[in-house]
């Protein structure tokens, strides 16, 4: 049986000639794309310099990446039109339209988190370094990315929370302001000198290191019964959890010493 390989040889030869003819355009396309990559990095650096003083670090990084990505994509399209001359701007737009719909359905959640991340970085309801509470998570914001926000919990674990949830649900920001209030109730026998106890406590709390003077500490009588009276003590300290805990420890120790020195005995519990 005779096998005629001439047709296959002609086809292979035609393909080789086409590839050789395409080499100049391919080299030009690669060169153009590399130029666009360099321009993309330069544009990113320019954007970072322009917005660095007016935006947060997270927003600065995201905008820089977006601009660099946009310029890179434009360079890729230009390179494709060089390699494939029949590829026109209209066909690219049509292709992008079809692709965007497909990508939108396929990556709906990703796009939602991306847009929510951009809005969080722009509106800044909280920032990197803030201590927040969200659902069952509480800790310090380590990073705000375009997809999720990374939270370092107080027990040394990392919680990765989707931005779409953070943007739509309630978030408690513990460090949004310069001070955070702490409070405690102390119970005393109804026959105790409450005015003396109140003055001793108030003077003591005012002198504790870390207690803010504005707002000033307060000691209020919250309940009185035939057996006991309850004094409600509240003060303000720096808002970070570590500062709150340390100041509270100093306040409670100072109050205990002041009451003992004054001969005033508090009841075991304010409940």
Instruction: Please state whether the peptide bond connecting residue 215 to the residue before it is cis, i.e. omega within 30 degrees of 0.
Output: yes
Q: Where are the beta strands (DSSP E) in 137-271?
A: 137-144, 148-153, 158-162, 172-173, 180-189, 218-224, 228-237
Note the pLDDT of residue 102: 52
The answer on 200 and 168 residing in a single domain is no
Residues 132, 174 contacting (CB under 8 angstroms):
yes
The answer on 14 and 65 residing in a single domain is yes
CATH code of the domain containing 208: 3.30.70.100
Quote the pTM value.
0.66
Q: Which of 199, 132, 191 is nearest to 161 (CA)?
A: 132
Residues 151, 159 contacting (CB under 8 angstroms):
yes
User: pLDDT (tens digit, 9 = 90+) per residue, 204-236?
Assistant: 999 999 999 999 999 999 988 888 999 999 999
The answer on 79 and 55 residing in a single domain is yes
The answer on 102 and 17 residing in a single domain is yes
User: pLDDT (tens digit, 9 = 90+) per residue, 160-174?
Assistant: 999 999 999 999 999
User: pLDDT (tens digit, 9 = 90+) per residue, 91-149?
Assistant: 665 655 555 555 555 557 777 888 888 888 878 899 899 999 999 899 999 998 888 99
Give residue 156's domain range.
125-173
The answer on 100 and 21 residing in a single domain is yes
The answer on 205 and 252 residing in a single domain is yes
User: pLDDT (tens digit, 9 = 90+) per residue, 239-262?
Assistant: 999 999 999 999 999 999 999 988
CATH code of the domain containing 14: 1.10.287
The answer on 102 and 132 residing in a single domain is no
The answer on 15 and 97 residing in a single domain is yes
The answer on 199 and 169 residing in a single domain is no
The answer on 140 and 224 residing in a single domain is no
């Amino acid at each position: 049986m005779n096998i005629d390989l001439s047709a296959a040889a002609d086809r292979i030869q035609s393909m080789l000639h086409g590839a050789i003819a395409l080499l100049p355009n391919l080299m030009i396309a690669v060169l153009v794309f590399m130029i666009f990559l360099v321009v993309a990095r330069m544009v990113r650096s320019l954007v970072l310099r322009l917005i660095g003083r007016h935006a947060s670090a997270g927003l600065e990084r995201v905008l820089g990446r977006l601009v660099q990505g946009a310029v890179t994509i434009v360079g890729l399209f230009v390179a494709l039109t060089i390699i494939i001359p029949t590829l026109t701007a209209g066909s690219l737009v049509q292709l992008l339209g079809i692709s965007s719909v497909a990508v939108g359905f396929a990556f709906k959640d990703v796009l939602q988190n991306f847009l929510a991340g951009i809005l969080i970085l722009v509106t800044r309801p909280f920032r990197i370094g803030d201590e927040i509470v969200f659902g069952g998570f509480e800790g310090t914001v380590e990073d705000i990315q375009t997809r999720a926000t990374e939270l370092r919990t107080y027990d040394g674990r990392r919680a990765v929370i989707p931005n779409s949830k953070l943007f739509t649900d309630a978030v408690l920001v513990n460090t949004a302001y310069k001070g955070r209030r702490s409070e405690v109730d102390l119970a005393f026998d109804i026959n105790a000198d409450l005015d003396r106890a109140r003055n001793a406590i108030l003077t003591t709390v005012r002198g504790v290191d870390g207690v803010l003077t504005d707002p000033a500490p307060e000691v209020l009588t919250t309940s009185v019964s035939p057996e006991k009276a309850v004094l409600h003590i509240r003060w303000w300290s720096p808002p970070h959890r570590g500062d709150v805990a340390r100041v509270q420890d100093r306040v409670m120790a100072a109050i205990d010493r002041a009451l003992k020195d004054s001969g005033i005995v508090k009841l075991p519990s304010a409940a």
